[in-house]
Structure 1
Amino acid sequence: MRAAVCVGAGGPEVLEVREVPVPAVRDGWSLVRVLGAGLNRSELRTRQGHSPNVRFPRVLGIECVGVVAESTDAALPEGTTVAAVMGEMGREFDGGYAEYALLPNALLMPLTTALPWDVLAALPETYLTAQGALDALGIGRTRLLIRGGTSSVGLAAASIAAGHGAEIAATTRRPDKAPALTAAGVTHVVVDDGGPLELPWPDGPDHVLDLVGARTAVDSLKLVRRGGTVCVAGSLSGWSIADFQPVAMIPSGTRLTAFHSDDLKGRADVLQRIVGEVEAGVYRPNVDRVFGLAEIVEAHRYMEADQASGKLVVIP
């Protein structure tokens, strides 16, 4: 089979498309024919050498969709449509950047859908993260600020929150990406030029979904209304907040929480509901661009240059 193998830490050129053996099925694991894989910035950081305990060479990819090719589990018959997310895919074991992936049965989420593979591949990590983060915030008919709005998770979160009747502001560093935000249900596009954000609410939003992460989290705590909640669910600016002092930096009564997509791994019920909303036209899949496996280096360059407005997908 063909696989995009990360041969070591470095730039996009360390991803090499190679012929490798198809993995052999073993107890507790199933062989999945990968028919689509979403690209994620966490894979970019793994490729750069920032993920701990990753040994190279490694096939990256923290998510994929496809069909079961072989399994020892009677609940996963051959031909079942499945999705898989996280659970150390592409880190401790080979992930979705390949024609086949051997995955733990516990990660596989059987789905019923007629969506095209590129659209289905855009949903698992993106929409599960967005849904989990909004659940952590307790979203409803509230005022929501999304920082990092044109990321794939940001657009998914806007689509979900709009369906709940939220009034949404979202940031982007590029004014030319504003149409993607408004199409996703954003009411107020806020250009983040590095200075103070000009928000439509004098007393601040009720909630902030911070997908930029480490660089902006403390500022988000200052922006949210007193008693509001900030949820950090992204790492566009890295993993750690330098010199973080909770007592000094979290205003009294304001809440800081987080969401990690591992919390919803294996939740076929949640993903099936999301798929249904996409099929019904309630949620937008927000696919920016689809690449072939042979274009994986170009895909990582595109992702690293922040050119996308939405999800990037690889079709092996």
Structure 2
Amino acid sequence: MTTMRAIVLSGAGPADNLQVRAWQKPDPQPDWVRIQVRAFGLNRSELHLRLGYAENAHFPIVPGIEATGVLDLDPDGVLAPGQQVAAMMGGMGRAFDGGYAEYVVVPRSQVIPFRSDLPWDVLGAVPETLQTAYGSLTTGLDLRAGQTLLIRGGTSALGYATAALARDLGATVLATTRRPERLAELAAHGVDHPVLDDGDVAARVRELVPAGVDAALELVGTTTLPDTLAATRVHGTVCFAGMLADEWIVKDFYPIAYLPTGVRLTSYSGDAANLPAAVLQSVLDRLADGSLSLGPVTTYPLDLIPEAHRDIEANRVSGKVVGVIPATS
């Protein structure tokens, strides 16, 4: 049996349940491909898996809903070995082993080819975050140039990326943080109006935009959703796309009392098919020439992924967290 190094989650529980192990190197079936992983983004989804919130989870499993690297094997010969690729979703890290490993096999339909000379830690930060940010702004909010956008959870990876894309579109961006020391971080990354989340963001927002914002992206969860709805204008739209607070159920939901009159509530959840290859390539090219930034990135080697989970759970990091596997692996 040929083995590889992988992070294996033995069961729901503390970060110590994530362990580096020798794991069987996977072989792709028809219509699947094998990727040699160079970097993988860490996402709230994997934290939910570890904490026991994921439905239909089975253990042991290699977590990770995304991976970035080079095509190692396509048994059907559709993709050439050495091609740079990103893969995401489609059951990664839930239905089958995911991206926290030296190699991963995925359905070819979940693979997006690209070309870039950027370092792997930068590349690994992009795919899933970009997919969700792009989909939230287009499908979830239909944001237009000249509109105002509120982002709840602005110092998350998705918050920074969405702010960058919205500003690039020509929108005015407001973004929240609960930590006063992070207001300057938001401003440094192009947010027009950093807003301290003191529990009444709607009041702070309406001091800046009296009629309410045109659009809002809810990334914190159902705990802050009523406040976000109250910050949005009549005929404005709130898109629910994240659960940083790990609260996603609205208890005793009575729509007429819960939803402000005329405010629209949507959601967004997508996968690789929702991120056009041309969009990924364009963003990578602009990251390379310095005309776009998706926010700060913190990297961890494979051996320190349990520590990365602790830092994410304790909200000690701002922006995207990426696991990096050296090219010599």
TM-score, with structure 1 as normaliser: 0.96
Q: Secondary structure at the match of 1:114?
A: coil
Give the match for residue 160 of structure 1: 165
Consecutive unaligned residues of structure 1, counting only runs of 5 or more, are: none
Which region of structure 1 is more displaced relative to structure 2, 280-289 or 222-231?
280-289
Candidates 138, 141, 149, aligned match of 1:137: 141
Give the match for residue 234 of structure 2: 226
Give the match for residue 126 of structure 1: 129
Residue 85 of structure 1 deviates from its aligned partner by 1.1
Residue by residue over 1:79-109, the C-alpha shift from the partner in whole angstroms, topping out at 9 and shown as x without a partner, is: 0100011111100000000000011111010
Which amino acid is the alignment partner of residue 103 of structure 2?
Answer: Y
- State how far apart, in whole Å, the 1-side matches of 2:295 and 2:115 are: 20
1:99 aligns with 2:102: yes
**Structure 1 consecutive aligned stretches of length 4 or more whose deviation exceeds 6 Å:** none
Give the match for residue 15 of structure 2: 12
Give the 3 Å change call, closer, same or farther, for CA 5–28 of structure 1 in structure 2.
same
- State how far apart, in whole Å, the 1-side matches of 2:239 and 2:274 are: 19
1:300 aligns with 2:309: yes
Give the match for residue 83 of structure 2: 80
Q: What is the RMSD of the two structures over their aligned residues, measured on CA atoms?
A: 1.5
Residue 174 of structure 1 deviates from its aligned partner by 0.7
Q: Secondary structure at the match of 1:69?
A: strand
Residue 250 of structure 1 deviates from its aligned partner by 1.8
Q: Secondary structure at the match of 1:20?
A: strand
Residue 254 of structure 1 deviates from its aligned partner by 1.6
* Percent of aligned pairs sharing the same letter: 45
Candidates 56, 60, 75, aligned match of 2:59: 56
Residue 301 of structure 1 deviates from its aligned partner by 0.3
1:247 aligns with 2:242: no
C-alpha contact 1:133 1:233 (8 A) present in aligned 2? yes
Residue 265 of structure 1 deviates from its aligned partner by 4.8
Aligned residue-pair number: 316
Q: Secondary structure at the match of 1:269?
A: helix
Map 1:127-206; keep pairs closer than 5 Å. 127-135=130-138, 136-139=140-143, 140-197=145-202, 198-199=204-205, 200-206=208-214
Which region of structure 1 is more displaced relative to structure 2, 300-309 or 252-261?
252-261
Give the match for residue 286 of structure 1: 295
- State how far apart, in whole Å, the 2-side matches of 1:193 and 1:220 are: 13
Give the match for residue 236 of structure 1: 244
Give the match for residue 207 of structure 1: 215
C-alpha contact 1:71 1:77 (8 A) present in aligned 2? yes
Give the 3 Å change call, closer, same or farther, for CA 285–226 of structure 1 in structure 2.
closer
Which amino acid is the alignment partner of residue 258 of structure 1?
Answer: S
Give the match for residue 262 of structure 1: 271
Give the match for residue 34 of structure 2: 31
Which amino acid is the alignment partner of residue 209 of structure 1?
Answer: L
Q: Secondary structure at the match of 2:135?
A: helix
C-alpha contact 1:149 1:181 (8 A) present in aligned 2? yes
- State how far apart, in whole Å, the 2-side matches of 1:112 and 1:37 are: 17
C-alpha contact 1:144 1:208 (8 A) present in aligned 2? yes
C-alpha contact 1:288 1:312 (8 A) present in aligned 2? yes
Residue by residue over 1:250-299, the C-alpha shift from the partner in whole angstroms, topping out at 9 and shown as x without a partner, is: 22322111111327456323322222232232321323310000001100
Which amino acid is the alignment partner of residue 234 of structure 2?
Answer: R
Give the match for residue 114 of structure 2: 111
- State how far apart, in whole Å, the 2-side matches of 1:97 and 1:70 are: 18
Which amino acid is the alignment partner of residue 221 of structure 2?
Answer: G
C-alpha contact 1:132 1:264 (8 A) present in aligned 2? no
Residue 219 of structure 1 deviates from its aligned partner by 2.1
Q: Secondary structure at the match of 2:235?
A: coil
- State how far apart, in whole Å, the 1-side matches of 2:160 and 2:151 are: 9
Give the 3 Å change call, closer, same or farther, for CA 73–184 of structure 1 in structure 2.
farther
- State how far apart, in whole Å, the 1-side matches of 2:282 and 2:212 are: 32
